[in-house]
Amino acid sequence: MSNKDPIVAIATAPGRGGIGVVRVSAPDLVAFIGRFFGRDLTARHAHYLPFSDANGQAIDEGIALFFKGPHSYTGEDVLELQGHGGPAVLKRIIDRCLEVAREMQMGLRHAEPGEFTQRAFLNNRLDLAQAEAVADLIDASSEAAARSAMESLSGAFSGLVNALADRVIHLRMLVEATLDFPEEEIEFLEKYQAREELQSIQDDLQHLIKQAKQGMILREGMHVVLAGQPNVGKSSLLNALAGDDVAIVTPIAGTTRDKVIQQIHIQGVPIHIVDTAGLRETDDTVESIGIARTWAEIEKANVIVHLQDARSPNDELDADITRRLPARTPVLKVFNKLDLLSEEEAAVLNRQLSETTEEAGHEATGILVSAKKETGLDALRQKLLDIAGWNPSAESPWLARERHLHALNSASEHLAMAEEHASYDDRVLDLFAEELRLAHDELCKITGQFSSDDLLGEIFSSFCIGK
């Protein structure tokens, strides 16, 4: 399999739809088009044509669009056939493409997931961060995420990274030039205010890292597990939280009946909430399996909501549960059924909660809610966002991935090392230069100027086919 093979795929979502699109990309499609249609197509014109089989019988009728490379999505010649959006008819169109290509010995094959976008990257139509944004835009589950993905796609993130990389390059040029004249080494730092410039680059990089963290929260969201004794109101709370979001709630088919995952959005941040089997001592085999699974979910959570009955805030079993929760995971203590408390009782509990901030080694915060009356839910939502580190006042105009954050952090470490080398009395300029080079490499990894085949394979294989 090569990056030059002609490829074909259905570009629209599987299933039925008004229109379905078959896309072909190859270095040269002029002869193929002549054979497929018995005529030429004008580039960038919509042609309404029959798509015919080998006997000249119409398989479908639709619009053919020809994009002559490099002015196309992939940078190669691209042909788009817009037919009717049924799986059978689209398969026949693809089969006909393969048949025509076989007669011409073109070596046309089905595209791998993301292969069209991979070609766009390889042909410099997009950089790597932009190519990732294509997948993120398709996968975006909230409007905020979609808007941010589009920002990345249009190059906002890449632009900032490139601007920083350019400043590092400039500094590198000055150092490398100085290295050729060792007697000037000492003056170099002063002459070009290199240390000040380095500090300023580091400041801007820190700002970028902050934004990238926000972008990552928006992309990844967080996994929240609702845990607690039976009947404290876990399922009711999940429903109450999902209520506002009902139009975009996507129940993910649980593998077991004892686990329900729902995705909700709080200020556009995707939150995956797992409702679990109630935790208690039991002899029932089926129930104990459910409880074992609950503990497995708790181990994987980013945040644990430990739901309790507000009428028994000092319950022994809840104290047991608290002791068993993993120490590394933030725990939010939520007391439900507030509506069943008198005003006085509620005031007492509130006072008690503000006094206990730390318990069993966890940062435990107490919130009073009523799932039934839907009170206290906004405070709970805000608390979840706080724990995620979501800070809506910070600009977060683009989505970011773990990979981006890792590269930004490594670049920052190398800049810090460079600064250290510049601070010694016997300054070691070649070490300074080397750290700058490493910082520069990290920044270039984001946009894909230096990227291994492994990384590319990993990124593009997570795309859908036809993109």
List of residues contacting Zn ion (CB under 5 A): 234-235
Report the run of H or E that residue 362 belongs to, with start and end. Answer: strand 362-368
Query: What does 114 interact with, of ligand GDP, Zn ion, none (CB < 5 to 8 A by kind)?
Result: none
Write the DSSP symbol of residue 425. Answer: S
Both tokens assigned to 27: 């270095």
| Contact residue for ligand GDP among 96, 259, 272, 337 (CB under 6 A) | 337
> How many CB atoms within 10 Å of residue 355?
8
* Segment lying near ligand GDP (by CB under 6 A), choices 6-14, 22-30, 109-117, 335-343: 335-343
By C-beta, is 148 or 236 nearer to ligand GDP? 236
Nearest distance in Å: CB 230, ligand GDP? 5
| Contact residue for ligand GDP among 372, 403, 406, 437 (CB under 6 A) | 372
Nearest distance in Å: CB 7, ligand GDP? 50
Both tokens assigned to 299: 């181990």
Query: What does 236 interact with, of Zn ion, ligand GDP, none (CB < 5 to 8 A by kind)?
Result: ligand GDP
Per the CB < 8 A criterion, the answer to whether 302 and 421 are in contact is no
The CA distances from residue 379 to 221, 343, 371, in Å, are 18, 19, 13
313 binds ligand GDP (CB under 6 A): no
> Phi and psi for 195 in degrees, rounded to 5?
-65, -40
Is 256 labeled as ligand-binding?
yes
- Give me the sign of the Cα torsion angle 455, 461, 462, 466: positive
Nearest distance in Å: CB 363, Zn ion? 26
Query: What does 370 interact with, of ligand GDP, Zn ion, none (CB < 5 to 8 A by kind)?
Result: ligand GDP
370 binds ligand GDP (CB under 6 A): yes
Is 80 labeled as ligand-binding?
yes
By C-beta, is 31 or 252 nearer to Zn ion? 252
By C-beta, is 26 or 338 nearer to ligand GDP? 338
Nearest distance in Å: CB 228, ligand GDP? 6
Find out whether the peptide bond into 326 is cis, omega within 30 degrees of 0: no
Phi-psi region of 108 (alpha: psi -120 to 50; beta: other; left: phi over 0): beta
Size of the residue set binding ligand GDP (CB under 6 A): 15
Is 282 labeled as ligand-binding?
no
Nearest distance in Å: CB 365, ligand GDP? 19
| Contact residue for ligand GDP among 200, 231, 352, 462 (CB under 6 A) | 231
| Residue nearest to Zn ion according to CB distances in the complex | 235
Per the CB < 8 A criterion, the answer to whether 336 and 369 are in contact is yes
Nearest distance in Å: CB 338, ligand GDP? 7
* Segment lying near ligand GDP (by CB under 6 A), choices 97-105, 224-232, 251-259, 426-434: 224-232
By C-beta, is 210 or 372 nearer to ligand GDP? 372
Helix axes 453-461, 115-122, angle to 10 degrees: 140
The set of residues, in sequence order, having a beta carbon less than 8 Å from that of 387 and lying 6+ positions away, is 222, 302, 303, 330, 332
CA–CA separation, 236 and 264 (whole Å): 15
By C-beta, is 139 or 315 nearer to Zn ion? 315
By C-beta, is 52 or 375 nearer to ligand GDP? 375
Per the CB < 8 A criterion, the answer to whether 128 and 97 are in contact is no
Both tokens assigned to 209: 């890292």
Per the CB < 8 A criterion, the answer to whether 238 and 226 are in contact is yes
Pick out residues in 252-281 that bind ligand GDP (CB under 6 A): 278
Is 364 labeled as ligand-binding?
no
User: Which residue type, as a one-letter code, is found at position 222?
Assistant: M
CA–CA separation, 467 and 10 (whole Å): 9
Q: Where do runs of H (alpha helix) occur along 38-184? A: 87-103, 115-122, 128-139, 143-153, 156-179
Residues that bind ligand GDP (CB under 6 A): 230-236, 278, 336-337, 339-340, 370-372
Known binding-site residues for GTP equal 231-236, 250-256, 275-278
Known binding-site residues equal 23, 80, 125, 231-236, 250-256, 275-278, 467
